[in-house]
Homo-oligomer: A and B are copies of this chain.
Amino acid sequence: MPVAKGSTIDPDRTRAAILDAATPVLYERGLDGIGVAELCARLGISKETLYRHFGTKDGLVRAVLEARSDRVTRSLAEAVAAAGPEPADQLAAVFAVFQQTYDEPRFRGCAMLNAAAQHHVEPVRALTARHLDRYLDTLTGIAERAGAADPRLLGRQLLMLVEGATVVATHHGPADAGDHALRAALTLLAAAS
C-alpha cells in the first residue's frame, strides 16, 4: 500500500497519506515490530520524508494512534446516534460496531491497548487512557438515559464488558463475543434502573 506517487506535491496531503498507510502496518507488525527503514520501504517513501513530517518514530506512532482513536470514537458516536433513543438499542449498536472489528480478518486486538502494552513511553499510555475515557463517556451517557440509579457505576461496568469482549475476541475467538457481551450488558441495564 504505497503512498500515492503521482499525487500533487502537497505536504498536508502527503502527511495524511503516510498516516493512512502506516496505520495498518504498525497495527499488524506492532509498534516496535518494524523498523523505520522497512516501514518506509513498505510505504514507498524515503526516511527523510517521514522524519520531516513526524520528527521521530514516536511522533509518527502518536499521530497514528491519535487519528485512530478519533476515528473509532467518531464511528461509535455515529452508531449510537443512529440507533434511536432507546438505551438498549444504543447498547446493541455499540457492541455491533465492536463485533464488526472483531470479525475483520486482520483483527489483532484493540490497537490502543496493544500500543500501551508495547510502548512504555508516557504519552502513548496517556492516549490509551484518553481513549478509554471516551468510551466511558459514551457508555455513561447511555446509562444516564436509561435512568440507572448509579450511571457512573453502570458506565464503568459497561466499559469492562466492552474491553473484556475485545480481549476475549482477541485471544479466545471473535465468534459471538459482541453478542454475549451485549446480552450481559442488557442484563446489567435492566437491573440498574
Contact = CB atoms under 8 A, between A and B. Distances in A.
Contact of A180 (B160, B164, B170): B160
A129 interface: yes
A163 B167 contact: yes
A117 B114 contact: yes
Q: Copy number in this complex?
A: 2
A118 B162 CA distance: 21
A171 B76 CA distance: 20
B118 A118 contact: yes
A188 interface: yes
A133 interface: yes
A183 interface: yes
A168 B140 CA distance: 14
A69 interface: no
Interface string A147-186: 0000001001101111111011011100001001101100
A191 interface: yes
A132 B168 contact: yes
11 contacts: A33-B120, A116-B170, A132-B167, A132-B172, A133-B172, A156-B180, A157-B183, A160-B180, A163-B163, A163-B164, A184-B184
